[in-house]
Structure 1
């Protein structure tokens, strides 16, 4: 990075540090569709001389095939390395020299790329960004090098109890559904990937009609429309993609015990939970805070850690996705205590489902969730992530404005009813890594 690039990065860091955004009373989300069919979500904010842009695709690991697992992740990874005929160092310097930051994320549902730049450098930053999106290269030599690196990481993961447990848990919960696939692929499938397969995946899944563009920052609506049109026009022009297929919950409980030399047993249990836009989202969200999402004030922590000392930490969470994402409970405990701890967790969840929550617990949970909400939207980048979610999962445009109101409206009856209908401890999939 040259001196000018370094200074620009420093300026960007300073303005970010000095930025303390007020919670927006009414977040004005503008929405339109480009000529090529990309959905666009934009929030104009001139508080900082910068812009954040992201583009999301239905190109996560759930669009892989078991025989070619890892194609989605490797495609996403290589797109950010070599593009437009530029080698890695040259492409990296295109962003670094103007103080721009290229980022991205990847999960089962989606693959995304993000750009953060000072608005004074937006044209140069967008030129580099469009190379990544429109002209990715998949050189065989770079692919071979990255395959070796990814395989090494997969081999290491096969020795780590946390990774082993998470992989086995998703397989137990989802069976043959695409959500069961390891997001990084399998050693054998990653080793066999070709550059032609990556190019085909890009052409099929990174289409304009499947793209969701989110923008936040120092732009006018007209400028945002020009940027969105530019990003959309250069993408493959294939058809819109179908959503991930529905999830079928396991018909019965399962227990998978995996030997491991770790000192502690790593335990995961749960089931398919809920999806984005689910009618039960808020009752489950608030109720889970009481069950296991509220840290030291949760029921699981009180029973498992405070009263019995069987684990340092225990948690539960819902991970909504396009289809039913996992409801997961996790803890670590001494191997000789694994059966006792597991029984206590199941009993605690069953009691929670059977007897429900109290008004006092509900009031405390809502106070904490509502009180902490401003910290979740106190920067452009955080709001951008919500724009991504709202756009990709087609949530209401007032989702953020009404979030606290929705939390406040949740009643004891709604929580209790939702957990009775949706959470079934008798059908949980259970994984114990390090079982005796």
Structure 2
């Protein structure tokens, strides 16, 4: 994944209470483009976050890495402007543009002044709709991508993640390297990048969030002018896939004094499931809550086996699973894995205490406001909520959903969701006493 920022732009501060109480409008342009909008006229800036569903998972077998490379080239020239000219043009407008490719989306961000929004968005349109993909820029950005891929080949965490993806998803797009391989990226042509652009950047893939000094009446024409010339349809999104890694251990030999272990298991709880919030709170207590979590207490604080350990719920567009990560010395990683298995089983059989739940609720509700400290962050949350298929009032009701979770809810979902005997561990290093079960 690569990110390119064109120019610096000041941050507009807007706190959660204003966002939760203000109306989030769903705007539909004359051309049928939809966006969620928070009108905030106090400072004359507009923040846009644009996501195109699909991302690097739209790469075909013979063009691995094409979407990632394509996204890196979007501001590397358009029309008669090369990358330097495009940067100067954006700076002259005090505009800030960012482009990013991920597994499930290609993202575009923009911060523009209200006073010259039409001109700034016309410049952004050129990057989105008609990038040049000239050979000099392709060669330069290709070199950056290959350097990143080569660096990842020496990173135990990256090796572990790619190994787990291959084991869990096989031939599905999620099982392939998101950035491609050195060989695949080297072989990509201009025609491949044009094809990736057409496949990924289309109106049917659009998800948009806008915050700032713009009304619904003003936003509709802006959206049509900016995005209306994109193709109506792009490539089909990947089909749903189950996390299918078998229970056991996979050791990847790597010369390092410290092993990295990641683990995961399938779960049927997605973001629309009635038990989503109890599962979310449960994971916070188990390992998602940093220094207040059980895994940190048991693996780091009591036994000193690691500097950091955490668990997570990974909800992707086409799958969902639960896992975690830890790093420990080659001589102690086996003990760390044993403790993690034990804590997984303890949570499954015993749930949480009332004190643990109350502490988690206070943290989760109190820290939520910190996510809303700038218009760009709020716009990003509007996009993420749509990507996750949340209702438009989710930001206003989220803390109530957290507070509604009970000890009994967590005991029930922990028993249903957590399966210590189903965990797949991928260990990268030279762990002592840990062997592959394959």
Q: TM-score, normalised by structure 2?
A: 0.91
Q: Structure 1 residue 251: deviation in Å?
A: 6.4
The one of 33, 50, 53 equivalent to 2:48 is 53
Partner in structure 2 of residue 301 of structure 1: 296
Partner in structure 2 of residue 84 of structure 1: 79
* Counterpart secondary structure, 2:265: strand
Larger deviation: 417-426 or 152-161? Answer: 417-426
Instruction: Determine if the alignment matches structure 1 residue 363 to structure 2 residue 329.
Output: no
Q: Structure 1 residue 125: deviation in Å?
A: 1.0
Q: Structure 1 residue 255: deviation in Å?
A: 1.7
Instruction: Determine if the alignment matches structure 1 residue 247 to structure 2 residue 276.
Output: no
Instruction: Determine if the alignment matches structure 1 residue 151 to structure 2 residue 146.
Output: yes
Aligned equivalents of 1:38 and 1:401: distance in 2?
24
* Counterpart secondary structure, 2:81: coil
Aligned equivalents of 1:91 and 1:251: distance in 2?
45
Aligned equivalents of 1:59 and 1:197: distance in 2?
17
* Counterpart secondary structure, 1:43: strand
Partner in structure 2 of residue 282 of structure 1: 277
CA contact (8 A) 2:49 2:210 kept: yes
CA contact (8 A) 2:106 2:200 kept: no
Instruction: Determine if the alignment matches structure 1 residue 172 to structure 2 residue 149.
Output: no
Aligned runs of 1:1-20 on 2, under 5 Å? Answer: 13=10, 16=11, 19=13
CA contact (8 A) 2:29 2:221 kept: no
Larger deviation: 46-55 or 137-146? Answer: 137-146
Instruction: Determine if the alignment matches structure 1 residue 231 to structure 2 residue 226.
Output: yes
The one of 286, 292, 314 equivalent to 2:287 is 292
* Counterpart secondary structure, 1:336: coil
Q: Structure 1 residue 326: deviation in Å?
A: 4.0
Aligned equivalents of 2:128 and 2:260: distance in 1?
40
* Counterpart secondary structure, 1:105: strand
CA contact (8 A) 1:38 1:210 kept: no
> How big is each residue's C-alpha offset from its partner over 1:309-347, in whole Å with a ceiling of 9 and x where there is no partner?
111211111122213244221111110111111111111
Partner in structure 2 of residue 184 of structure 1: 179
Q: Structure 1 residue 400: deviation in Å?
A: 0.3
Aligned equivalents of 1:67 and 1:419: distance in 2?
42
Partner in structure 2 of residue 314 of structure 1: 309
Aligned equivalents of 2:335 and 2:160: distance in 1?
19
* Counterpart secondary structure, 1:319: strand
Instruction: Determine if the alignment matches structure 1 residue 101 to structure 2 residue 89.
Output: no
Aligned equivalents of 1:66 and 1:204: distance in 2?
14
* Counterpart secondary structure, 2:323: strand
Partner in structure 1 of residue 4 of structure 2: none
Larger deviation: 386-395 or 407-416? Answer: 386-395
Instruction: Determine if the alignment matches structure 1 residue 38 to structure 2 residue 38.
Output: no
CA contact (8 A) 1:276 1:321 kept: no
Partner in structure 2 of residue 3 of structure 1: none
* Counterpart secondary structure, 1:79: coil
Larger deviation: 403-412 or 224-233? Answer: 224-233
Tell me: CA distance 1:225–1:37, structure 2 relative to 1, closer, same or farther (3 Å). Answer: closer
Aligned equivalents of 1:404 and 1:280: distance in 2?
15
Aligned equivalents of 2:214 and 2:30: distance in 1?
20
Larger deviation: 48-57 or 202-211? Answer: 202-211
Instruction: Determine if the alignment matches structure 1 residue 323 to structure 2 residue 318.
Output: yes
Q: Structure 1 residue 67: deviation in Å?
A: 3.0
Partner in structure 2 of residue 5 of structure 1: none
Q: Structure 1 residue 168: deviation in Å?
A: 1.4
Partner in structure 2 of residue 126 of structure 1: 121
Partner in structure 2 of residue 387 of structure 1: 382
Partner in structure 2 of residue 270 of structure 1: 264
Aligned equivalents of 2:60 and 2:421: distance in 1?
31
Q: What are the ranges of 5 or more consecutive residues in structure 2 without an aligned counterpart?
A: 1-6, 432-438
> How big is each residue's C-alpha offset from its partner over 1:106-142, in whole Å with a ceiling of 9 and x where there is no partner?
2111101111012122122111111111111211232
Q: Structure 1 residue 297: deviation in Å?
A: 1.3
Partner in structure 1 of residue 3 of structure 2: none
Partner in structure 2 of residue 62 of structure 1: 57
Aligned equivalents of 1:151 and 1:384: distance in 2?
32
Q: Structure 1 residue 258: deviation in Å?
A: 1.3
Aligned equivalents of 2:148 and 2:325: distance in 1?
23
Larger deviation: 284-293 or 149-158? Answer: 149-158
CA contact (8 A) 2:14 2:372 kept: no
Tell me: CA distance 1:78–1:383, structure 2 relative to 1, closer, same or farther (3 Å). Answer: same
Q: TM-score, normalised by structure 1?
A: 0.92
